Amino acid sequence: MTNGASGSGGEGGEGGRSGRALEGAVRAGDPPSATSEREIGFGRLHQPVGIASCPGIVLVHDVWGRSEHSRALATKLAGRGFAVVELDLYRALAEPRVRDAGERIRSLDDERVLADLDAAAEWLAAEAICRGRRIGVMGVCMGGTYALLAACRPSKFAAAAPFYGVLSYDRAMYLGPEGRDRVRKPASPIERAPALCMPVIAAFGCEDGFVPLADVDLLEAGFARSGAIHRVDRYTGAGHAFLNETRPDAYRPEIAAKALARAVDFLHAHLDP
């Protein structure tokens, strides 16, 4: 399924969980927990039922905003033993509906978005279920780009799991009439990769028209220079949005299941005590 995966930094990419096992925690091979959800100021909170304490994840949606896809993904993660903030980046916009994907992406100020991610993580860490626990970040598409950027700077996160985030800001979707906006988009994931400062597992499809494999190679080379723990998976037979069950043209069930299971195991390995 993969054309390669790598890990560096002196520790296995999918290492086992460390420390004590918490009563009621979801372990590999267990059936998913029942979950609950409720609206919060940042979007929606999803929690496993019957678990008093667990690590947290801030989930960042794709360019189209919070959706049934992000809701289903957050529910799956909660069922695997995480409290999840399904973040709504567009909640304060007068017009949250996206008419032009490139225009919306270019309009977002990266520093403000990353500050929003940090604020959501801080809020989640203060919730009883996550108090004293580590918080990770996961994102898909545009959200994957922001998860990568969050992993390459000091932040409130302890691990990251980005899926097929765009890696270069010198490609069409990020270029407006006057080229790249270096105020809103000061540094791309490729440019930030050598500053990686937390464990990361990144997943890409080999047939992704938005993320060339040459860019994935550059990202991985940057990660290697950082010395931080990393794993980069490339999935043959998958393109962009291969996790998205609401898009039959893009969804690849077997690859999605494998990639998500790897991300869950990796995050538990680095977020559990």
Distance CA 146, CA 233 (A): 18
Residue 190: inside a domain: yes
DSSP secondary structure letter of residue 60? E
Residue 238: inside a domain: yes
Residue 23: inside a domain: no
Residue 1: inside a domain: no
Distance CA 192, CA 172 (A): 20
Using CA atoms, how far residue 44 sits from 53, 58, 60, 173, in Å, is 18, 10, 11, 28
Looking at the DSSP bridge assignments, the partners of residue 87 are: 43, 60
> What is the reported pLDDT for 29?
57
> What is the reported pLDDT for 8?
39
The two three-digit tokens of residue 85, written as one number? 């903030």
- Mean pLDDT by runs of 10 across the 273 residues of the chain is 40 36 51 90 97 97 95 97 97 88 95 98 98 98 98 96 97 87 96 98 97 98 98 98 96 97 97 89
The two three-digit tokens of residue 190, written as one number? 């490729």
Domain range spanning residue 166? 35-271
> What is the reported pLDDT for 94?
81
DSSP secondary structure letter of residue 127? S
Looking up residue 240, the CATH number of its domain turns out to be 3.40.50.1820
Whether 242 and 256 have beta carbons less than 8 Å apart is answered as: yes
Whether 87 and 121 have beta carbons less than 8 Å apart is answered as: no
Number of domains forming the structure of the chain: 1
> What is the reported pLDDT for 28?
52
Residue 14: inside a domain: no
> What is the reported pLDDT for 73?
97
Residue 203 neighbours by CB distance under 10 Å: 29
Distance CA 136, CA 179 (A): 33
> What is the reported pLDDT for 7?
40
